[in-house]
Structure 1
Amino acid sequence: MSQYTATINATEYPPHLKHKVIFETFNNLKPSESMLLVNDHDPKPLRFQFESTHPGQFTWDYIEAGPVTFQVKISKL
């Protein structure tokens, strides 16, 4: 069984849909569930957006930190 409820490969979405899909997926997680975000660059701006819109409601753990692929485990508290 996967440790992730959902996996999002952000490179598969057009730019205008990426954050929408990521936040919808996060919002559908139950507390203690996690999603895996895969991206081709460091998603720091997304983390800042999470901190702004969901303060204290998530954890952010890098599984792989580049230079080519970034994988982040985002868990709902």
Structure 2
Amino acid sequence: MPRLDVREIPPVNRHDKIHEEFDGMDPGETLTIVNDHEPKPLYYEMAAEVPAFDEEAYEVRQNAPDEFVAEFPKTED
């Protein structure tokens, strides 16, 4: 399962890197993102623009004040 810690990536470049990683995944895989904030804007962006994003199976948990782990699954279709 691909995992991407974006905390070290400049914020302006994060979404492009995430989309690149997601696009390279096989259907049925889940991209795990580690971020310093809850990625709600990314969730809404993915839901609106990426048909392969399985928004129903999206999950996020907060492990620390500056550590959010989000699961972005890719549909199997």
Q: Does 1:12 align with 2:24?
A: no
Relative to structure 1, the CA distance from residue 35 to residue 57 in structure 2 (aligned partners, 3 Å threshold; closer, same or farther) is closer
Match of 1:61 in 2: 59
Structure 1, unmatched stretches of 5+, are none
Instruction: Give the 4+ runs in structure 1 shifted more than 3 A.
Output: none
Structure 2, unmatched stretches of 5+, are none
Match of 1:71 in 2: 69
Return the TM-score normalized by structure 2.
0.82
> In structure 2, the residue corresponding to 1:12 is in which secondary structure?
coil
The two structures, once aligned, show a CA RMSD in angstroms of: 1.5
> Percent of pairs identical after alignment?
29
- In the aligned structure 1, how far is the partner of 2:32 from the partner of 2:58? 10
Relative to structure 1, the CA distance from residue 56 to residue 7 in structure 2 (aligned partners, 3 Å threshold; closer, same or farther) is closer
Return the TM-score normalized by structure 1.
0.82
Q: How many residues align?
A: 72
Relative to structure 1, the CA distance from residue 56 to residue 25 in structure 2 (aligned partners, 3 Å threshold; closer, same or farther) is closer
- In the aligned structure 2, how far is the partner of 1:14 from the partner of 1:37? 15
Q: 1:39 aligns with which of 24, 35, 39?
A: 35
Q: Does 1:25 align with 2:21?
A: yes
